[in-house]
Amino acid sequence: MPCTKLIKLLIYIAFILTGLKANAQVAILQNAIDKLESYKNFSYEYVYKQKEVFSDTLIYNQKFVLLKTPEDKAFGYFFRHELKYGDAKVTSTDLYNGTDLISLFPRDSTYNTRNVQAITFSQSLPGELNWIKTFLKKHPSKIAQSNDTSFNSINSYHLIVNTKDTIINKDHLYVRIHLFIDKATGLPVGKLTRSRTADFGKEVTNYYTEETYFNYKIDQDNINVASFAMPEGFHAPKEKPKEQSALLTQGMIAPDWTLYDTDGKKASLSQMKGKVVLLDFFFVGCVYCMNTLAPLDNLHEKYKNKNLVILSISDRDSKKLVTAFKKAQCIKNQMFPNARDVANLYQVTAAPTFYFIDQEGKIANIVDGYSEDFETKMSAIIDSLLKKS
């Protein structure tokens, strides 16, 4: 056989073997999905660890309980999600029983309803595994060859999925999901995600997450529709008296404060009188806060020679964390850690929240959250305030 034909044959064989290997791994994934879907109900616990270059490891202890509900067209399940952050003593609980997501707050026995049930379900094993399956259906070559391995002393299949692998400006950007499935039970026991990306924030950063699944319980007799009903004793939060929100009415004098920034420099709002001040209330790890980083940086550059100052205030993060975050994300404006009292003073209950203070020290505008037109909207407000100077 001529050398050229032999080489082509070997390449063809290698291609076929690679395809067979990929198909075998997809079959392992499908088997795990099928196994979970075969149960009337199941529950499991898991520990989620997240590590970024700029922060300490975040640890969440969680539990999912799922009831197979074919008549539910959205997910096919009713579910309960329990979460405890770090050393917190109180567990937060979300319930879905075919309508909105119900969030329970044991501290004061209150609840609220939110239309984010799809986000919560995506964090469950059915949600995660089916996302991987859908991705591989569109990108079958993105599953890598791997050898069986041991995960937490459990003999496991090891599947590796490359959801991103590219080079931009000589920087290798990637997202790799490592899924470990118990060879004996066919159920997932762990998932690692290693990534280097700028998708989360404005700078390229290394991220690492680890999820460990354990304590599976299957087809329990005490899990039924009633398990996902609102518990007795919970009530809607009482409305706050109107005078409690009067402090933040546009046109009123903004409450003064004194803080120390990441460089240890003392600052107060009263020192800023005569300038337009944009107060950015954020915390490290807030997804929508990360989305505002690049627009805020652009605003800082656009107005750096004008009468505007941008101040970012965290209600919960330490000086060490905010300093590392500022450095990793190349943030140019001043940042202030340990500012819970100031957040309370401005009655901030969600992040990001933005307050515009005019040259006279009055609240001129309030923007809650992030939107696709964030930068344009903020520029318009700033321009209108600067024209008054």
Q: Measure the CA–CA gap between 80 and 63, rounded to whole angstroms.
A: 8
pLDDT at 56 over 80: no
H or E stretch including 244? Answer: helix 242-245
Question: Using CA atoms, how far apart are residues 376 and 262, in angstroms rounded to an integer?
Answer: 28
For residues 201 and 279, what is the distance between their CA atoms, to the nearest angstrom? Answer: 19
3-state secondary structure (DSSP) of residue 106: coil
Q: Lowest mean pLDDT of 21-30, 158-167, 168-177, 178-187, name the range.
A: 21-30
- Angstrom distance (rounded) from CA 306 to CA 308: 6
Rounded distance between C-alpha atoms, residue 194 and residue 114, angstroms:
31
In sequence order, what DSSP letters do the residues of 173-189 get, joined into one string?
A: EEEEEEEEEETTT--EE
Rounded to an integer, what is the distance from CA 118 to the centroid of its chain? 14
Interval 37-64 mean pLDDT? 87
Between 129-138, 320-329, 372-381, the lowest mean confidence (pLDDT) is in 320-329
Percentage of residues in the chain having pLDDT higher than 90:
63
Helix, strand, coil in percent for the chain, rounding step 5:
30, 35, 35
Rounded Cα distance between 280 and 339, Å, is 12
The residues with which 96 forms a beta bridge, in sequence order, are 79, 101
Residue 13 confidence (pLDDT):
44
CB-based contact 280:312 (threshold 8 Å): yes
List strand residue ranges (DSSP E) for 183-292, in order.
188-197, 205-218, 258-260, 266-268, 276-282
pLDDT digits 0-9 by tens, 175-187: 999 999 999 999 9
Q: Kindly tell me the burial class for residue 108, based on how many C-beta atoms sit within 10 Å of its own C-beta (0-12, 13-18, 19 or more).
A: exposed
Mean pLDDT of 333-345: 93
Q: How far is CA 282 from CA 106, 205, 206, 271, 322, in A?
A: 25, 19, 21, 22, 11
Q: Is 274 left (phi over 0), alpha (psi -120 to 50) or beta?
A: left
Q: How does DSSP classify residue 251?
A: T
Length of the chain: 389
DSSP label of 83: E
Note the pLDDT tens digit of each residue in 5-16.
555 544 444 444
Rg (CA), the chain: 25
CA–CA separation, 361 vs 183, rounded Å?
A: 65
Q: Report the candidate in 130, 181, 185 with the shortest Cα–Cα distance to residue 160.
A: 181
pLDDT at 297 over 80: yes
Kindly report which listed range (19-23, 99-103, 265-269) carries the lowest average pLDDT score. 19-23
Distances (CA, A) of 307 to 5, 7, 304, 349, 350: 73, 69, 8, 29, 28
What type of residue sits at position 112? Answer: N
Q: What would the pLDDT profile of 208-261 be if each residue is shown by its tens digit? A: 899 999 999 999 999 999 999 999 999 988 765 544 443 478 888 999 999 999
pLDDT tens readout for residues 111-156: 999 888 998 999 999 999 999 999 999 998 898 868 899 999 999 9
In degrees, rounded to 5, the angle at the alpha carbon of residue 154 between the alpha carbons of residues 152 and 160 is 80
Q: Is the pLDDT of residue 17 over 50?
A: no
What CA–CA distance (Å, rounded) separates 25 from 220? 30
pTM, 2 dp: 0.74
Mean pLDDT, all residues of the chain? 88
Amino acid symbol at 165 = D
Residue 2 in 3-state DSSP?
coil
